[in-house]
């Protein structure tokens, strides 16, 4: 099991200096990853648990800029955002930004990608919220980005995106590409099929961030991923802890490992709690409340 910290990009965490401080503390404490949300607009209006802990601040940091600062201030820890709603972005710009950050970090970037939620992150800017349309856009977007990372001239004509004879350089530091994790609701099978084409799956419970997905559901997810063609090795299946990080417990972590989970992301929704959890470290799978036995 690899252990990561999972923090908002909103409220007090919108201060990039705070994120850098926390990432610098996480690296020597033995954490394997440092991940942040990529929400364009605040979530407090849509999620009671978020509102109760983050408050009603409208502050939000740009995830890619924040991760660039984190990359420059660290040396070992993997980093990424969960999840980026790529249907509202330009694939050519995203491909170049990702390569630049991957090069800067020495090949430590992981890209978490999804359809996006809630809908106001699209409707507020006049963008399509139809889920089928967004799903098709995500598939095309990722196909084009993956080709652009090859460094070879790309000819691409899709329904939503096009590229004519463009070769981008440099290519990513990582091979065969920057890892792509698909983030989506854990009860849906279509995202599992999408995730099987890429490098990892980070499902969320329907009651995120309060509840988490049980081990038996992860076993079903892993089976669906294998049936859809996901590799049996070098594939990341991600568990996100509940908001107060009381679940999973050290006793249940082996159940998740047997179900195929190999990344556990521990959430914290206040800066004080994040500091305490980070300094306590992930040793022995102790992911209960900070300071508990």
pTM for the predicted model, two decimal places: 0.93
Task: Return d(Cα 212, Cα 198) in angstroms, integer.
Answer: 23
pLDDT tens digits for range 13-39: 999 999 999 999 999 999 999 999 998
* pLDDT over 70 percentage in the chain: 95
Output the pLDDT for position 290.
Answer: 43
pLDDT tens digits for range 188-243: 889 999 999 999 999 998 888 888 999 999 999 999 999 999 998 899 999 999 88
Enclosing H/E stretch for 263: strand 263-267
Give the gyration radius of the chain's Cα atoms: 18
Q: 35 vs 93, 178, 211, CA distance in Å?
A: 21, 15, 19
Q: Are 1 and 46 in contact (CB under 8 A)?
A: no
Output the pLDDT for position 200.
Answer: 98
Output the pLDDT for position 283.
Answer: 59
- Torsion sign, CA atoms 279, 284, 285, 286: negative
Report, as ranges of residue numbers, the positions in the chain whose pLDDT lies below 70. Answer: 44-46, 283-293
Q: Are 6 and 38 in contact (CB under 8 A)?
A: no
Which of 4, 67, 79, 14 lies closest to 43, judged by CA?
14
Output the pLDDT for position 55.
Answer: 75
What token pair was written down for 88? 């509202």
């Amino acid at each position: 099991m690899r252990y990561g910290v999972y923090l908002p990009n909103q409220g007090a965490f919108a201060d990039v200096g705070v994120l850098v401080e926390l990432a610098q503390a996480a690296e020597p404490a033995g954490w394997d990853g440092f991940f942040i949300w990529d929400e364009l607009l605040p979530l407090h209006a849509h999620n009671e648990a978020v509102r109760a802990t983050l408050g009603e601040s409208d502050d939000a940091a740009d995830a890619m800029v924040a991760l660039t600062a984190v990359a420059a201030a660290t040396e070992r820890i993997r980093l990424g955002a969960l999840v980026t709603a790529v249907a509202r972005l330009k694939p050519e710009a995203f491909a170049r930004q990702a390569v630049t950050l991957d090069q800067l970090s020495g090949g430590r970037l992981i890209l978490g990608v999804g359809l996006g939620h809630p809908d106001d992150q699209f409707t507020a800017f006049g963008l399509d919220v139809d889920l089928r349309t967004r799903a098709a856009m995500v598939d095309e977007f990722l196909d084009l980005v993956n080709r652009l990372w090859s460094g070879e001239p790309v000819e691409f004509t899709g329904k939503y995106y096009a590229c004519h004879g463009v070769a981008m350089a440099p290519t990513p530091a990582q091979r065969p590409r920057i890892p792509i994790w698909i983030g989506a609701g854990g009860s849906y099978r279509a995202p599992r099929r999408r995730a099987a084409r890429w490098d990892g799956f980070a499902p969320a419970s329907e009651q995120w961030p309060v509840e988490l997905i049980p081990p038996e559901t992860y076993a079903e997810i892993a089976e669906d991923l294998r049936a859809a063609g996901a590799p049996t090795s070098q594939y990341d299946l991600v568990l996100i802890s509940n908001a107060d990080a009381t679940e999973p417990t050290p006793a249940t972590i082996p159940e998740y490992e047997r179900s195929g989970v190999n990344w556990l992301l521990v959430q914290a929704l206040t800066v004080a709690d994040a500091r305490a959890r980070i300094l306590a470290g992930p040793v022995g799978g102790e992911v209960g409340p900070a300071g508990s036995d």
